[in-house]
Amino acid sequence: MVMLLKNINKTGCSEWVLRNSLYWMSAWSHWQLDEDADRWIVSFGKNSDEVEFEFERLLNDYKLRERLQRQTEQVRTSIIENVLKSIDARLAQ
């Protein structure tokens, strides 16, 4: 059986991005994740253009999500703090 093997540099892809992408890849193919010091090594049981395209699409999607989370973290934290302060003020009355 010919498997699709993907080597992904760890500096270009976080574990969070990779594992979220692989979660959704289970619908397309079984997979195995290994690693060495510098890279993630993903083996897919199915070698097809569709599997490779979907994996790349998911990696791109989760990289964008991760970047947006980082960029909006301070705003989200501020909103949460303000909501909690408002709840505390109402409960103190």
**Residuewise pLDDT in 10s, the chain (93 residues):** 558 999 999 999 999 999 999 999 999 999 999 999 999 999 999 999 999 999 999 999 999 999 999 999 898 888 999 999 999 989 998
Query: pLDDT at position 1, please?
Result: 57
Q: Kindly report the pTM of this predicted structure.
A: 0.78
Query: pLDDT at position 41, please?
Result: 97
Point out which residues pair with 23 in neighbouring strands: none
d(CA 88, CA 34): 47
Query: pLDDT at position 16, please?
Result: 97
Query: pLDDT at position 2, please?
Result: 59
- Which of 1, 60, 8, 10 shows the shortest CA–CA distance to 29? 1
Please write down the HEC assignment for all residues of 42-71.
EEECCCCHHHHHHHHHHHHHHHHHHHHHHH
Query: pLDDT at position 31, please?
Result: 96
